[in-house]
Amino acid sequence: MRKMILSSMMTVVLASALPFSQAQAEKLSIAKLSLPGDGRGDYLAVDVPGNRLFVTHTTAVHVLDLRTLKPVAEVTGLTYAHGVAVDRAGRAYVTDGNSNSVVVFDPASGRELKRIAVGEKPDSIVFDRPSAKILVFNADSNSVSIIDPTSDGVIATIKLPHPPENAQTDGLGRVYVNFEEGNAVGVIDTKKMVLARLISLTGCDGPAPLAIDKANRRLFSGCGNKVMTVTNADTGKVLRTVPIGGDPDGIVYDPGTKRIFVANRDGGWTVVRQDGPNAYSVEQTLKIDEYAKTVALDPATHRVFSSTADLVWPPAVPGKKHLPNAKPGTFRLLVVSQL
């Protein structure tokens, strides 16, 4: 295994789990940790019971110790890694977008255990604890593949009206998914494994990232028109819109600090304070590396993780979204901590 090198620019700051205060809210530090390999990453995932952080990275998944951020294992041989979920037994599942499959792997060793054929371009993935099933969201086939971890096979498929984006589980039998093209949130009943309803996101154009406040039953959607919507997960009512930055692709809610981090691709994260279930205000815009676009939270330390690389922009192609490439050898983990 190639050794992970700590960036000389900053050292990792381990945030304590002390009670949150206003003074802490205004002080954030960003540490950078180099990771081996080329290309950019996508989703990150935190496994608290297993003490692991998963960082997807093109054809690999880096498995890190959650406390020390030292490398534990590396999953290789993927075509394009997107999201990671962990089942009750501690086994991990990663969506492999270009092979239309999910790879089951041992997080302790990185060893591949099985490949499961799913829909086209699998992206977001969640483990739903009430049903004990893995839900895989297929972007190009507008569907959800339901995997039973006991057999590691697809037992059902749910058709969707639009390509799915980020998904979140409430832990009570509902999984929510953003539809960027439909300006809506889909609600999946995991007892019946059906799309139960659609929630229209009034005032939101192109919702991609999604987070959830499970205690207050609030959904937070990052929208392409530079707002975050706050929606009642039960009634479907849009309660608030909050201004954010451009082109958001990641969002996370920290119940311990009552703070929402919106990862905008334009190099500035919007940090939103939750003053109450229906009261929100922008706390600050955190300057961070461009294209640090997805986020994951460690609820114990309140550290927020992202990844990016130095960008190389190819010539634009008419009719196609202009996306950057990564400068070789520059991929890195970003760690945002409270001082």
Q: What is the CATH number of the domain that holds 199?
A: 2.130.10.10
Least confident of 8-12, 55-59, 232-236, 253-257: 8-12
234-288 pLDDT tens trace:
999 999 999 999 999 999 999 999 999 999 988 699 999 999 999 999 999 999 9
Total domains in the fold of the chain: 1
Q: How many CB atoms lie within 10 A of CB 247?
A: 16
pLDDT for residue 320: 83
- Is 5 among the domain residues? no
pLDDT for residue 241: 97
Q: Which residue has the higher pLDDT, 5 or 113?
A: 113
200-230 pLDDT tens trace:
999 999 999 999 999 999 999 999 999 999 9
Confidence of residue 321 (pLDDT cuts 50, 70, 90): confident
Q: Judging by beta carbons within 10 Å of its beta carbon (0-12, 13-18, 19+), is residue 330 exposed, middle or buried? A: middle
Mean pLDDT along residues 306-323: 89
pLDDT for residue 26: 58
- Is 69 among the domain residues? yes
Residue-averaged pLDDT of the chain: 92
- Is 222 among the domain residues? yes
Rounded Cα gap, residues 141 and 122, in angstroms: 9
- Is 199 among the domain residues? yes
Residue 115 has pLDDT above 60, yes or no: yes
Contacts of 282 (CB under 8 A, 6+ apart): 242, 243, 244, 270, 271, 272, 273
Q: Which residue has the higher pLDDT, 100 or 19?
A: 100
- Is 323 among the domain residues? no
Which residue range(s) make up the domain with 119? 28-310+331-335
- Is 317 among the domain residues? no
Which single residue is written with the structure tokens 């959830």?
Answer: 212
Mean pLDDT along residues 27-45: 95
pLDDT for residue 323: 83
- Is 1 among the domain residues? no
pTM: 0.91
Rounded Cα gap, residues 11 and 32, in angstroms: 7
171-186 pLDDT tens trace:
999 999 999 999 999 9
Q: Judging by beta carbons within 10 Å of its beta carbon (0-12, 13-18, 19+), is residue 318 exposed, middle or buried? A: exposed
Rounded Cα gap, residues 309 and 326, in angstroms: 6
- Is 6 among the domain residues? no
